[in-house]
Amino acid sequence: MKTNIGKLVVLLAAALSAAACDFLDEYDPNSTTTGNYYTSESDIAASVSGVYASLTQSYYLGSACFHFTDIRAHSTVCHNSGANSGIPYQFYNFTLTEENTYVYNRYTAMYKTISRANTALAHLDDVSYASPDTRDIYEAEVRFLRALTYFYLVTEWGDVPLILTDLTTKDEVAAANRRVPKQQVYQAIFDDLDFAVRSPLRTVCPASECGRASKAAAYALAGKARLQLACDEDFAAEKAASLAAAIELLGEAWNLRTFGALSDIPYANVWSLSTQKGCPENIFQLNFIQGNADLGSAWNYQFGPTQTGITSMKTGQAYNCTTVEIYDRFDPADVRREFLRKFTSSGIDYYHTMKYADLECGPDGYGGNNWVLLRYADVALMLAEACYWSNDLPSARTWLNMVRKRAGLSDWSGSDLRQGIYDERLFEFIQEGLRWQDMLRMYDRMEMIEHYNAVNSNFGLKDLLLPIPYNERILNPEGLYQNPGYTAE
């Protein structure tokens, strides 16, 4: 189905026939209507699974996502950044253009997830359920995933199209293909997550369902979104209220933990293949299966060194490596530093991560390592941030020191608490894809420009946001106006 309508659908919100055939293959999408796909609870379950599966798309939360987070924030580098005519290097060098195919792929991947979510939600009432709570649990899961996707969209692009219904016609797609103020996007995120925490969704997930949403995950994501909004200068008038809401929501997430102190959980348990899926610190993670070409993770060899036998039997690609400068910032007593291993390529020293190492995955390198999106160390350090911005410095230090204690460090004793908190986030979450949003919270716009301009003179106002992809913008140049600083031919 490569019609013009089909193209619009893939780019924005997918016509039902296209979306359905992505995750239900028992029907011919060219000869049946969408309604025929949803005749039983198992069809809805498959539809919801399709939304989860879409998170693992390469340019969303799959093998290429690090370009948009750690690389862009300069906490890591890509050893082979000159590939594809230097397209990856544009993230590190702050020379992104609206023609960058990686940006286009990420944007469309996220709207594919939005499309699948809206399709699933539109058909929840088409079938009956064995348990009365099942329908609302499915809705809560899907709305959590939609909120997660809009969180990335709004923090990376600012104003974006807000699509909350299933689009079934070309005219509906065209009408929805316009940016709305980010305040509306944030409100949609909060509405979805409010539904999730009020639903019969499970409080926390057992190891057997570690890749599914929970109330703890919804509270943690809602707190993160409130904190992100509070640190956005465009919402300065709401800062105090947003911080208070963030502290409340993050506190709710913290109170749902099933362990005592964070230091009771060894840092290695977050990453070990034998403990990761059931680790009580991990709130929400993308679940992968070892040795499976379709369901395994690629970071095992992608983030590995340019040698074999260190993280797997497959030669590493040295993507998302840490530099000597970053490594040297770690305290020698920090247990997290042990997850960085030195290797040398072309006479330059780099550090690859062992967080995603799978030594038993076989020659193809498909690992069983999960991608952890939300964990309790993140909740604790976000509480430290929110307390700091609320001028509750004693509480900020308390939350900060919880994380430091688990890392084998003494209580923080520096003179710049803000720097101390965000440094701790760097050390705790190195190579986990959180750094760009962290930097947006640490600095206001002018500080951000000053900081990165000192690193690379290319950085300017435009680099605070990604460009709207050219192939999208030409569909509606007025409604999909370009972000400042990017050429609009």
Cα-based distances in Å from 216 to 61, 69, 148, 273, 376: 20, 24, 14, 23, 10
Distance CA 210, CA 475 (A): 39
Where are the chain's structural domains?
A: 1-33+42-131+144-180+443-484, 288-369
Are the CB atoms for 126 and 36 separated by under 8 Å? no
What fold characterizes domain 1-33+42-131+144-180+443-484? 1.25.40
The pTM (predicted TM-score) of the whole model is 0.92
Instruction: pLDDT tens for the chain, 489 residues: list them.
Output: 333 333 333 333 333 333 333 322 233 333 334 555 899 999 999 999 999 999 999 999 998 999 999 999 999 998 776 655 578 899 999 999 999 999 999 999 999 999 999 999 999 999 999 998 999 999 999 999 999 999 999 999 999 999 999 999 999 999 999 999 999 999 999 999 999 999 999 999 999 999 999 999 999 999 999 999 999 999 999 999 999 999 999 999 999 999 999 999 999 999 999 999 999 999 999 999 999 988 999 998 999 998 877 777 788 888 999 999 999 999 999 999 999 999 998 899 999 999 999 988 888 889 999 999 999 999 999 999 999 999 999 999 999 999 999 999 999 999 999 999 999 999 999 999 999 999 999 999 999 999 999 999 999 999 999 999 999 999 999 999 999 999 754
